[in-house]
Amino acid sequence: MRSSVFTIMKKELARFFGDRRLMVSILMPGILIYVVYTFMGSAMGDLFSVDEDYVPTIQAAALPDSIAALTQAAGLPTEPCQDIQAAKEEVTAQELDLLLVFSEEFDREVAAYEAGSGQAAPNVEVYYNSASAASQTAYMTVTSLLDAYESGLANKFDVNAGVDCDLATEEDTAGSIFAMLLPMLLMTFLYSGCSSVAPESIAGEKERGTIATMLITPIRRGDIAVGKILALAIVALLSGASSALGTILALPRLMGGAMEGISTNIYSMRDYLLLAVVILSTVLVLVTVISILSAFAKTVKEAQSYATPLMVLVMLLGVSGMFGGGASRNLAVYCIPLYNSVQCMSGVFSFTVMPAAVAVTAGVNGAFTLLGVFVLAKMFNSEKIIFSR
Amino acid sequence: MSDILEVRDLTKTFRLSAKQQKLERTKQKLRVAVNGLSFTAREGEIFGLLGPNGAGKTTTLRMLATLIRPDSGDTFVDGKSIVREPDQVRRRIGFLTSELKLEDCFTPNYLYDFFSELHQVDRAVRIARKEDIFTRFGIDRFAEVKVADLSTGMKQKVSLAVSLVHDPEIIIFDEPTNGLDVLTARVVTDFLEELRDRGRTVIVSTHIFSLVEKLCDRVGILIDGRMVQCDTLANITRGESLEDRFFAIYKETAGEME
C-alpha cells in the first residue's frame, strides 16, 4: 500500500481515537441496541401474558361432566351460562374472559361419533377477545386442554370448527395494535424531530458566533429562550406529525394480513384532540431539554452527543408503553414528564385515556417547559456558557 | 466635550482550564485579563485602545458591550451602569467585532430589519436609515443575496450597518479593519471619522499603529491588562512615531513588571 494512503489513514484514525465524543458515538449504538432490545424483550413477554395469580372468568353453556372435570383439575373455575348472547357481549366488552358453548348431549355425541364416518364431528365453540391479554391467555389454556383431551379420544370432536370465535371488535383489535406500537413510534419520531432542529439552533448559533450578536441587543434573554423554544417546537411538531401520519397510514401494510379489513379511522375527534394536547406538550418538553443540553455544548456535534442519553430514555419510555392494559389509572404517574406522555398516548390508542390524566400531563409538561425556559435564559446570561469555545 | 463613557477600576479574571495552563506553560489557575482599568471617552472623539495580543483589549470591549460582567469596578455609558443597567447600556452602544457573526442563511436586507426590530427602531426611521447606509456602503447591490455568498468585505459592511441600526451614541469596534481589503478598510475608516464628526463616540481596539495615527484623538496603551498610558496622540508620541513610542513604553513597563 502506498505510504501516502497510510499517512491519510493514520490521520483519520488519530482524529477518531483522539476525540472522546467520537469514541462515544462509535460505542453508543451497541450499548443502545443491547439496552433497548433487552428491555423490549421483557416488555413483549409481559405484554402477551397475565399475572400468574390471575384467575380467568369463564362461563360455559351445557358444560359436560367430562370437560367440567378437566377445567376443575386445571384450576379454571367455570360458571354456568344462562344467556349465550349476553355472555358473548360480555366477552366483547372484556368483562368476561371466555365463553364455552357445548351441545346439550356433548358427551353422548362424542361417544357415538365414528371418526371415519364422514359426518361432522361434535363441535365446541370457545369464544374469546383477542384484544384482551387475559382472554387470549385463557383461550390458549382452554383450547390446549381441549386439544389434549380430543387427542386422547382419537379426534372425536372439534374445537371452533368453521366458526370465528374471536369476539374482539374491529376497534378493539386495531386499538390494541396501535396502543402497542404507536406510543413508542410517536415518541421516537417526536424526539427525532426535536433533536434535528434544537442543537442547530442553540449550539449551532454558539458555534457560528451569531448568538452573541443577538445578546448585545436590548432583547431580554427570556424572550430569546421562549422565541427559540416555540419556533423549534413548531418545526419539530411538523416533522413529528409528518412521521406519525406516514406511520399511521402505513401501519396496516406494515402489519400485513393481521390488520386486513380493519380501518385505522377508529378514533373520534375527542381522541385526536387529546392526542394533540399530549404531543404538543411532549414536544415542548423535548425541545426544552435538548435546547438546555445544546447550550452546554460548544458545537452541534457535541450537542448531539449530549442528547444521546435522552434518546435512550425516550426509547425506553416508549417501549414501556407496550406493557398491556392501556393507561395507568393513577394520576400521580402523570406528574413524570415524558413517561406521562407515553401513558396518555397508550390510553388514547387503547380507548382507556382519562381526560384528567391528559390535563395533568399538559400542566406538568407546561410547568416543566417554563422552568426550562428560565434555566435557558439564565444560561444565555452566563459568559462561561456563551463564550465557551 | 463632556465624558460619555467612564470606565472605573475595571477588573476581570479568568480561570484557566488545564488545556490553557498547558498551552501557556503556567501552573497558575487564574489569569487577570484586565486589571483596575480606568479611562474616559468624550462625545465626538475616537478613542483607541492599543496593545499587543493578550493585553486585555477584547475583554475590555466585551465588558463595555455587556457581554461579560466585570469582577469588580464599573463602567458608565451616558450615566448608565454596565453592571446594574445592561439593557439601558445596550440601547446606547453599537458593538462590532470579528467574533460576532451574521447568520449565513439570511440576506442583508432581512438582517437589517431583524436587528432593527430587536432594537425597537420605528419602521419609518428604519427604512430611511437602511436606505442611507445601504447606499453609502453599496450594500443595496447585494441586499437580497444571502450572507453565505458574500465576500469578507461585503460581510464586514453588512455587520457595520447592522451594528448601527439604532444609531448608537457610542460605537465600539474591535479590530475594525482586520481581514479587509484596502478599499473596504478605507470605507470603514472614513465612516468612523464621519461618525465622530456627527458627535458620536467611537472606541476602537487595534494593534495597527497606522490606524491609530490616522483615526484616534486619544489613545490608551494597554499592556498585560493595565492601562500604562492614556493621553492624546500628540502627548504620547512626543514627536516620535507611535510605533517607536509604543515599544519604548512596552520596554519600560516590562522592566517595571519584572
What pLDDT does residue A261 have? Answer: 54
Q: Does residue A49 belong to any structural domain of this protein? A: no
Mark whether A197 and A123 lie in a shared domain: no
Count CA atoms closer than 13 A to A3's CA, side-chain side: 0
Count CA atoms closer than 13 A to A62's CA, side-chain side: 13
Mark whether A272 and A183 lie in a shared domain: yes
Position A12 pLDDT exceeds 80:
no
N-term to C-term CA, chain B: 39
Which of A144, A167, A190 is the last residue before a domain boundary? A167
CA distance to partner chain A, nearest, from residue B214 (Å): 28
Across residues B193-200, what is the average pLDDT?
A: 94
Whether this model's pTM surpasses 0.90? no
pLDDT in tens, A138-161: 899 899 988 888 888 777 788 888
Question: Which among A209, A218, A383 has CB closest to B90?
Answer: A218
Residue B249 touches partner A, C-beta closer than 8 Å: no
Position B214 pLDDT exceeds 70:
yes
Enter the C-alpha cell of residue A116.
371415519
Geometric angle at alpha carbon A366, from A362 and A370, rounded to 5°: 175
N-term to C-term CA, chain A: 39
Which of 200-239 (A) contact B at CB < 8 A?
A: 208-210, 212-220
- Side chain identity, residue A235: V
DSSP A35-58: HHHHHHHHHHHHHT---TT----E
Element (H, E) at A291: helix A269-296
Residue B116 touches partner A, C-beta closer than 8 Å: no
CB A294, CB A306: distance < 8 Å: yes
d(CA A364, CA A348): 18
Q: Does residue A51 belong to any structural domain of this protein? A: no
Cβ <8 Å between A217 and B119: yes
Compute CA B185 distance to the chain's CA centroid, rounded to the nearest angstrom: 15
- Closest Cα in chain B to A388: B17
d(CA A348, CA A342): 10
CA distance to partner chain B, nearest, from residue A200 (Å): 12
Q: What is the mean pLDDT of chain A?
A: 83
DSSP A75: T
Mutate to test the interface with A, among B60, B93, B95 (most CBs of A within 10 A): B95
Q: Does residue A103 belong to any structural domain of this protein? A: yes
DSSP chain B: --EEEEEEEEEEEEEPPHHHHHHTT---SEEEEEEEEEEEEETT-EEEEE--TTSSHHHHHHHHTTSS--SEEEEEETTEETTT-HHHHHHHEEEE-TT----TTS-HHHHHHHHHHHTT--HHHHHHHHHHHHHHHTGGGGTTS-GGGS-HHHHHHHHHHHHTTT--SEEEEESTTTT--HHHHHHHHHHHHHHHHTT-EEEEEES-HHHHHHH-SEEEEEETTEEEEEEEHHHHHTTS-HHHHHHHHHHHHHHHH-
Across residues A121-145, what is the average pLDDT?
A: 87
**Number of residue pairs across A and B with CB atoms under 8 Å?**
45
Phi and psi for B150 in degrees, rounded to 5?
A: -95, 155
Position B83 pLDDT exceeds 90:
yes
What pLDDT does residue A136 have? Answer: 85
DSSP A99: E
Domains identified in chain A, total number: 2
Cβ <8 Å between A215 and B67: yes
Mark whether A123 and A211 lie in a shared domain: no
What pLDDT does residue A130 have? Answer: 83
Q: Tell me the chain A residues in contact with residue B95 when contact means C-beta distances shorter than 8 Å.
A: 216
CB B37, CB B7: distance < 8 Å: yes
Phi and psi for A295 in degrees, rounded to 5?
A: -65, -30
List b or e across B87-108, with b for residues whose CB sees 16 or more CB atoms inside 10 angstroms: ebbbbbbbbbbbbbbbbeebbb
Question: Which among B91, B99, B162 has CB closest to A209?
Answer: B99
Position B1 pLDDT exceeds 70:
no
Phi and psi for A21 in degrees, rounded to 5?
A: -65, -40
CB atoms near residue A42 (< 10 Å): 13
What pLDDT does residue A48 have? Answer: 55
Q: Does residue A16 belong to any structural domain of this protein? A: yes
Across residues A341-368, what is the average pLDDT?
A: 92
d(CA A229, CA A231): 6
Position A40 pLDDT exceeds 60:
yes
Position A325 pLDDT exceeds 70:
no
Mark whether A239 and A152 lie in a shared domain: no
d(CA A359, CA A365): 10
Across residues A51-68, what is the average pLDDT?
A: 84
CA distances from B109 to A240, B114, B143, B144, B181 (A): 32, 9, 5, 6, 23
- Closest Cα in chain A to B86: A218
Mark whether A9 and A83 lie in a shared domain: no
Position A170 pLDDT exceeds 90:
no
Q: Give B231's strand partners.
A: B219
Q: Tell me the chain B residues in contact with residue A219 when contact means C-beta distances shorter than 8 Å.
A: 118
Mark whether A112 and A212 lie in a shared domain: no
CA distance to partner chain B, nearest, from residue A385 (Å): 11
Mark whether A222 and A308 lie in a shared domain: yes
Q: Tell me the chain A residues in contact with residue B87 when contact means C-beta distances shorter than 8 Å.
A: 218, 220
Phi and psi for A159 in degrees, rounded to 5?
A: -120, 125
Provide the pLDDT confidence category of residue B21 given band limits of 50, 70 and 90.
confident
Mark whether A191 and A281 lie in a shared domain: yes
Mutate to test the interface with B, among A200, A216, A298, A384 (most CBs of B within 10 A): A216
d(CA A32, CA A316): 10
Question: Which among A210, A217, A383 has CB closest to B101?
Answer: A210
Mark whether A35 and A161 lie in a shared domain: no
Which of A141, A167, A193 is the last residue before a domain boundary? A167
Which of A149, A167, A185 is the last residue before a domain boundary? A167
CA distance to partner chain A, nearest, from residue B220 (Å): 24
Element (H, E) at A87: helix A84-92
Provide the pLDDT confidence category of residue A264 given band limits of 50, 70 and 90.
low
pLDDT in tens, A173-208: 777 778 888 888 889 888 988 888 889 888 888 888
CB atoms near residue A127 (< 10 Å): 25
Q: Does residue A50 belong to any structural domain of this protein? A: no
Element (H, E) at A66: helix A65-73
**ipTM > 0.90 (yes/no):** no
DSSP A314: H
Residue B91 touches partner A, C-beta closer than 8 Å: yes
Residue B117 touches partner A, C-beta closer than 8 Å: no
d(CA A294, CA A206): 9
Position B146 pLDDT exceeds 90:
yes
Residue pointed to by grid coordinates 414501556: A320
Mutate to test the interface with B, among A207, A213, A220 (most CBs of B within 10 A): A213
Beta-carbon contacts of A208 under 8 Å, excluding residues fewer than 6 positions away, are B101, B103, B104
Compute CA B37 distance to the chain's CA centroid, rounded to the nearest angstrom: 16
**A265-274, B54-63, B155-164, B203-212: segment of lowest average pLDDT:** A265-274
Cβ <8 Å between A383 and B101: no
d(CA B258, CA B253): 9
CA distance to partner chain B, nearest, from residue A380 (Å): 10
Position A44 pLDDT exceeds 70:
no
Cβ <8 Å between B100 and A220: no
d(CA B75, CA B63): 9
Q: Tell me the chain A residues in contact with residue B69 when contact means C-beta distances shorter than 8 Å.
A: 383
CA distances from A235 to A59, A74, A171, A183, A238 (A): 54, 57, 32, 20, 5
What pLDDT does residue A39 have? Answer: 66
- Closest Cα in chain B to A220: B87
- Closest Cα in chain B to A215: B67
Domain that holds residue A159: 58-96+98-131+133-167
Q: Does residue A199 belong to any structural domain of this protein? A: yes
Residue B118 touches partner A, C-beta closer than 8 Å: yes
Beta-carbon contacts of B246 under 8 Å, excluding residues fewer than 6 positions away, are B50, B209, B221
Across residues B235-248, what is the average pLDDT?
A: 89
Of A297 and B254, more confident: A297
Provide the pLDDT confidence category of residue B190 given band limits of 50, 70 and 90.
very high
Mark whether A323 and A210 lie in a shared domain: yes
Across residues B143-155, what is the average pLDDT?
A: 92
Question: Which among A210, A216, A387 has CB closest to B103?
Answer: A210
- Side chain identity, residue A364: V
Count CA atoms closer than 13 A to A243's CA, side-chain side: 19
Q: Does residue A304 belong to any structural domain of this protein? A: yes
Q: Tell me the chain A residues in contact with residue B115 when contact means C-beta distances shorter than 8 Å.
A: 213, 217
Residue B127 touches partner A, C-beta closer than 8 Å: no
Enter the C-alpha cell of residue B1.
466635550
Compute CA A275 distance to the chain's CA centroid, rounded to the nearest angstrom: 14
Of B187 and B203, more confident: B203
Q: How many residues does chain B have?
A: 258
Mark whether A186 and A123 lie in a shared domain: no
Position B223 pLDDT exceeds 70:
yes
Q: Tell me the chain B residues in contact with residue A204 when contact means C-beta distances shorter than 8 Å.
A: none
Residue pointed to by grid coordinates 383431551: A149
Position B257 pLDDT exceeds 60:
no
Mark whether A272 and A157 lie in a shared domain: no
| Sheet hosting strand A78-80, strand order edge to edge | A78-80, A58-61, A98-101, A123-127, A158-159
Q: How many residues does chain A have?
A: 389
What pLDDT does residue A21 have? Answer: 66
CB B176, CB B192: distance < 8 Å: yes
Cβ <8 Å between B99 and A212: yes
Residue B95 touches partner A, C-beta closer than 8 Å: yes
What pLDDT does residue B202 have? Answer: 95
